[in-house]
Amino acid sequence: GPGGTPAGVIHAHRAMAGGLPAVEMSLSFFPQFGDIVWTSADWMGAEALFRAVLPAWHHGVPVVARAGGFDPAAALELMSRHGVRTLYVPPAHLGALAEAASTRPHAMPRAIATGPEPVDEALHERVIKVFGVHANEAWGVLESGAVSANLAGLMELRPPSPGRAAPGLSVEAVDERGRPLRAGDRGVLAVSPNAPGSFLGYWGDGGGAARRVNGWLLTGRGGFRDLDHYLWPDPPAVADGAVRVRGGTVLPDEVEAALAAHPDVAAAGVVEWPAGELKAFVVSRGRPGEAAFARELQGWVSLTRSPMEVPSRVDFVEELPLSMDGSVRRGDLLDRPIRVDAPSPDDRWPGKGR
């Protein structure tokens, strides 16, 4: 993970049930008769498991899936073919799904949940326009589980707030000593003592941002609660040198190292493309820069890195622009022209259709 090995989070068996109130609210009083669930999130991630897959199985609701990464067009086809009525779509995928739905026939879901990252008002409006329903957010960190949610029709949506604390929970902004602050005062968002979805601790000697003070679970995320009890979390902090890709944090240096470990790669540079994806520039060791080689490199990275760290686009270059200290000048890579002379879309953007 970014910054080294991530801290292991230990949850009790009650963790999934502890997050159900917020999850069920975000999915519009899930479950309802005829619900079939689909999520675009990676099943190896906590969001997919705790916000879609495990709650569905807990209630005996079918979950459908397809092989491969997120593809908006394929997702819409799957929804129509299998009668999917209930979705959990992370914010990083929601815009692309709405964009695809605006240009082709598709099923109309009963409920769409998103989060935990904020969704702005413009995206909310696009989702309503193409799907006819609001996207309800559920918020929480890995250590706390989902602890707050929106539910259109039951409460006013105030983007980018993720709504109010779920039934049975209190979420407040507290100071360093775990003392709740007044409405509107900024502090650390914390979950009330004995919340069933809260974690037991970190694995081994690992440590993360969350901690318990005076009984409250401090999530490590700043923010405040307003007079109407809506929560306003601060945007997640991004470490120096890291970028946000598909809702997660990625260090390009680590992806470059994974690419450079391939025996046919002499050097690699990785940048964040404006579309919120990773693009790799690769100097090969004499091997032709073909689409098959690009797909091989994507598979190589996927063996050691998470799906969000696999470059969606690969370009082969003769050399990389380097600074005096030997580091890659990523700004110069972003300024490179697109390969309009490539013989096929596959050669221009290998892996884009994955």
Model confidence over 150-203: pLDDT tens digits? 999 999 999 999 999 999 999 999 999 999 999 999 999 999 999 999 999 999
Q: What is the pLDDT of residues 67-84, one digit of tens each?
A: 877 889 999 999 999 999
Residue of 246 and 43 predicted with greater confidence: 43
Q: What pLDDT score was predicted for residue 338?
A: 59
Q: What is the mean pLDDT of residues 338-349?
A: 47
Q: What pLDDT score was predicted for residue 341?
A: 45
Q: What pLDDT score was predicted for residue 347?
A: 46
Q: What is the pLDDT of residues 215-242, one digit of tens each?
A: 999 999 999 999 999 999 998 776 677 7
Q: Position 191: which residue type?
A: V
pTM of this structure = 0.77
Q: What is the mean pLDDT of residues 116-142?
A: 94
Question: In degrees, to the nearest 5, what angle opens at C-alpha 247 toward C-alphas 80 and 269?
Answer: 115
Ranges of beta strands (E only) in 99-200 are 111-114, 135-139, 148-149, 164-165, 171-174, 187-191
Residue of 332 and 77 predicted with greater confidence: 77
> Above pLDDT 90, what percent of the chain?
66
Q: What pLDDT score was predicted for residue 291?
A: 87
Q: What pLDDT score was predicted for residue 160?
A: 93
Residue of 337 and 176 predicted with greater confidence: 176
Q: How distant, in Å, are the alpha carbons of 72, 127, 253 from that of 278? A: 18, 25, 12
Q: What pLDDT score was predicted for residue 125?
A: 95
Backbone angles phi, psi at 199, to 5 degrees: -75, 165
Q: What CATH number has the domain spanning 9-233?
A: 3.40.50.12780
Q: What is the mean pLDDT of residues 15-41?
A: 96
Q: What pLDDT score was predicted for residue 72?
A: 92
Q: What pLDDT score was predicted for residue 2?
A: 44
On average, the pLDDT of the chain sits at 88
Domain ranges of the chain: 9-233, 243-348
Q: Is the pLDDT of residue 352 over 50?
A: no
Q: What is the mean pLDDT of residues 93-104?
A: 93
Kindly report the CATH class assigned to 243-348. alpha beta
Within 8 A by CB and 6+ apart from 205, the residues are none
